């Protein structure tokens, strides 16, 4: 059944809040990527989110809050170190996994006894949660398997006719999803790298481990989301790792792919000009690159490119998060 999706201005957050209170689903901006939200305590509403996104039911979603009171209403126990992280990094792009209270439906946690919680800093998101009067469960507002939406136009592309409303919040600030840290383990473990880096977290709570194994489909993973292919455009992505002769390597690959008759686009940070090949400069900082990469994945698909050649970065700081997403999108990773 096709829904009549309301496209709302940020000034109409009250309309969106009303929809959430009545059990509907709304796409809204956060500082990372757009989320598709529903009342986190309403099992039926949450199921609508999974259906609209075509998300596998065994992949849990993040609950978004606007106050520490709400954290207490969702978490069975708040470990001391989790509290330190919340105080330091919230509101912001950090998701903290804790033991859930029984009030949190298993549809949110995909049957797990833990729940992922985050307080976003985006003003529209905060206002939506406050006005709804309930925590909001929200995965990214893309169709499952597509790159996360970093602009309302992406959410509209994927969810018009499927969501009850979409709030027009413009471009997101960070462009990569939040850092996810599991605080239910003896040693806190970063399950997904993001803008809040391992170093930033260690400076607050000491040693943490970073989950960084290659994951095979169907294998047991700590975060169910890890086993799904993600962030992938239709085009084949070839990721060229950071190295001394990276620029030359990209040139060489681009030319030989072109000879094979491929329609290629090069996404890079360095100025790499190759005759007859379309190139997009992603800006010169890793933050610029992170902000824009999902957008250009989508645009490359729209323009009918069949191969995306992308420049990798060093895997430190935000580069760790960026490379994590690029490796998942890529079918070939090469030096």
Q: Which residues bind ligand TXA (CB under 6 A)?
A: 30, 32-33, 35, 59-62, 95, 97, 109, 112, 114-116, 118, 138-140, 177-178, 180, 191-192, 223-225
The least CB distance from residue 203 to ligand TXA, in Å, is 21
Nearer to Mg ion, 39 or 177 (CB): 177
Nearer to ligand TXA, 174 or 240 (CB): 174
The first and second tokens of residue 99, run together, are 């033991």
Report what 35 binds from Mg ion, ligand TXA, none; CB cut-off 5-8 Å by kind.
ligand TXA
CB of 140 to Mg ion, least distance (A): 3
- Least distance in Å: CB of 271 to Mg ion? 32
The rounded distance, in Å, linking the Cα atoms of 134 and 155 is 23
Q: Residue 136, SS3?
A: strand
If contact means CB under 5 to 8 A according to the sort of partner, which of Mg ion, ligand TXA, none does residue 232 touch? none
Query: Could you say which of ligand TXA, Mg ion, none residue 317 binds, taking C-beta under 5 to 8 angstroms by partner kind?
Result: none
Helix, strand, or coil here: 161? coil
**Cβ-closest position to ligand TXA:** 225
- Residue 280 has phi, psi (to 5 degrees) of -115, 130
**Locate tokens 């959430």: which residue?**
20
- From the list 154, 161, 88, 73, the residue with the least C-alpha distance to 121 is 88
CA gap 253, 327 in Å, rounded: 18
Exposed / middle / buried, residue 293 (Cβ in 10 Å: 0-12, 13-18, 19+)? buried
User: Which neighbouring-strand residues pair with 63?
Assistant: 117, 137
Q: Does 313 bind Mg ion (CB under 5 A)?
A: no
Q: How far is the CB of 27 from Mg ion (least distance, A)?
A: 13
Which residues in 153-172 contact Mg ion (CB under 5 A)?
none
CB of 251 to Mg ion, least distance (A): 33
Verify binding: residue 140, Mg ion, rule CB under 5 A: yes
Least Å from the CB of residue 55 to Mg ion: 8
* Cα–Cα distance list, 132 to 11, 185, 214 (Å): 15, 32, 39
Q: How far apart are CA 71 and CA 271, in angstroms?
A: 46
Judged by beta carbon distances under 5 to 8 A according to partner kind, the member of Mg ion, ligand TXA, none in contact with residue 115 is ligand TXA
Residue 86 contact partner, candidates ligand TXA, Mg ion, none, CB within 5 to 8 A by sort of partner: none
Rule CB under 5 A: which residues touch Mg ion? 140
């Amino acid at each position: 059944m096709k829904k009549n999706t309301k496209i709302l201005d940020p000034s109409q957050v009250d309309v969106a809040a009303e929809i959430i209170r009545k059990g509907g689903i709304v796409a809204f901006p956060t500082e990372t990527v757009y989320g598709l939200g529903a009342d986190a305590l309403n099992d039926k509403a949450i199921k609508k989110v999974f259906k609209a996104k075509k998300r596998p039911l065994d992949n849990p979603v993040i609950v978004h809050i606007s106050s520490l009171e709400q954290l207490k209403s969702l978490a069975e126990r708040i470990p001391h170190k989790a509290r330190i992280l919340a105080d330091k990094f919230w509101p912001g792009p950090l998701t903290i996994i804790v033991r859930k209270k029984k009030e949190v439906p298993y549809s949110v946690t995909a049957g797990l006894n833990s729940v992922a919680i985050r307080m976003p800093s985006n003003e529209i998101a905060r206002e939506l949660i406050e006005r709804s009067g309930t925590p909001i469960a929200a995965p990214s507002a893309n169709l499952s398997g597509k790159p996360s939406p970093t602009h309302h136009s992406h959410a509209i592309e994927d969810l018009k006719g499927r969501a009850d409303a979409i709030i027009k919040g413009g471009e997101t600030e960070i462009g990569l999803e939040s850092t996810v840290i599991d605080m239910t383990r003896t040693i806190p473990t970063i399950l997904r790298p993001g803008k809040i880096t391992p170093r930033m977290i260690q400076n607050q709570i000491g040693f943490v481990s970073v989950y960084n194994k290659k994951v095979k489909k169907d294998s047991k993973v700590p975060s169910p989301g890890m086993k799904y292919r993600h962030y992938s455009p239709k085009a084949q992505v070839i990721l060229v790792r950071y190295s001394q002769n990276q620029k030359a390597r990209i040139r060489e690959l681009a030319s030989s792919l072109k000879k094979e008759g491929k329609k290629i686009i090069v996404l890079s940070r360095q100025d790499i000009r190759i005759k007859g090949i379309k190139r997009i400069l992603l800006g010169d900082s890793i933050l610029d690159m992170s902000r824009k990469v999902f957008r250009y994945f989508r645009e490359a698909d729209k323009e009918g490119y069949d191969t995306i050649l992308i420049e990798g970065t060093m895997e430190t700081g935000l580069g760790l998060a960026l490379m994590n997403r690029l490796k998942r999108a890529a079918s070939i990773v090469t030096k």
